[in-house]
Amino acid sequence: MTQSPVRGHALVTGASSGIGAAIAREYAARGMPLVLVARRAERLQALAAELSARVECVVIAADLADPATPARLFEATTSRGLFISTLVNNAGYGVPGRYLSADWKTHADFIQVLMTSVAELTHRYLPAMEAAGHGRILNVASLAGLVPATAGHTLYGATKLWLVRFSESLDLEMKKHGVHVTAVCPGMTYTEFHDVNGMREKVSQLPKGIWLTSAEVAKLAVDAVEAGRPRLITGRTNRLLAALSKYLPDHLASALISSRSKDFRDAD
């Protein structure tokens, strides 16, 4: 088994499918032992069985919508004597439709998973990285956080913009301690995300050239955090969209995104 040049384990949330599973596979290919976290224990066990020939895999089934989960995760890894040298905050999903189409508990769970748990897990695992003088934190954000807002999925872009800013600020604080923090901002990626939020039929009509596979995103993301890049936008088309959003007048950029938002957002 190839030994990783990076000390410790990589803890990946949302590892049961999509980009999270792809990032786990990418780290396993680089010889890094893993802590796999998600709600679906069966899928985690299947992924661990796939990767255990290469690296050690610890499986922890947990729901990050539960506010007690980050502390339990930290205790579970600490009690095993594991040093989490890489933290991948990937767990996430979308809440389709208008803001008022879902009850507050749905939105509160969403904020807990995509924001609060990220902040808490980072706060808990960061001190050991700082003390060791080495660490990597990879936060899976989205192109949605870098382009103008659209109707529907109201909290999604807002949380992803928060994640980008959080990552950039933390990277500035921690780089002198040997800790790299990166926000990866994928655009359209072949995963189960659009099946879960009911948008598969609509997004399947988008041009094939704007899509990347989850494996492609994972490799780019891991390369970026190892290189110390605080932000990565995956794909040439996505970088163009982000640039247009930044440099076009606000009203033009907003009109451009809003005119096509029905292709990837459900606002009904």
- Domain parsing of the chain, residue ranges: 9-263
More confident position, 225 or 212: 225
What confidence tier does 145 reach under pLDDT thresholds 50, 70, 90?
confident
Determine the pLDDT at residue 248.
56
What is the rounded distance in angstroms from the CA atom of residue 179 to the CA atom of residue 199? 37
Q: How far is CA 45 from the centre of its chain?
A: 21
What is the rounded distance in angstroms from the CA atom of residue 172 to the CA atom of residue 169? 5
What is the rounded distance in angstroms from the CA atom of residue 110 to the CA atom of residue 95? 8
Please provide the average confidence, as pLDDT, over all residues in the chain.
86
| pLDDT at 226 exceeding the cut of 80 | yes
What confidence tier does 237 reach under pLDDT thresholds 50, 70, 90?
confident
HSE-CB of 99 using CA atoms within 13 angstroms: 8
In CATH, which of 3.30.230.10, 3.40.30.10, 3.40.718.10, 3.40.50.720 is domain 9-263? 3.40.50.720
Closest CA to 30 of 59, 54, 64, 62: 54
Question: What's the pLDDT tens digit per position in 148-198?
Answer: 767 788 999 999 999 999 999 999 999 999 999 999 999 876 655 544 444
Determine the pLDDT at residue 268.
61
Question: What's the pLDDT tens digit per position in 11-42?
Answer: 999 999 999 999 999 999 999 999 999 999 99
| pLDDT at 257 exceeding the cut of 60 | no
Q: Position of tokens 């995104």?
A: 257
Q: Which of 93, 99, 125, 156 is catalytic?
A: 156
Does 156 participate in catalysis according to the annotation?
Answer: yes
| pLDDT at 5 exceeding the cut of 50 | no
Q: Do 222 and 199 meet the contact criterion of CB atoms below 8 Å apart?
A: no
- Please state, in angstroms and as integers, the Cα–Cα distance from residue 220 to each residue in 22, 117, 147, 182, 233, following that order: 11, 24, 21, 11, 9
Determine the pLDDT at residue 247.
61
Task: Give the pLDDT mean for 216-225.
Answer: 97
What confidence tier does 235 reach under pLDDT thresholds 50, 70, 90?
confident
Tokens of 102: 């879902």
How much of the chain exceeds pLDDT 90, in percent?
70
Determine the pLDDT at residue 114.
98
What is the rounded distance in angstroms from the CA atom of residue 90 to the CA atom of residue 183? 10
| pLDDT at 2 exceeding the cut of 50 | no
Q: Do 2 and 31 meet the contact criterion of CB atoms below 8 Å apart?
A: yes
| pLDDT at 199 exceeding the cut of 70 | no
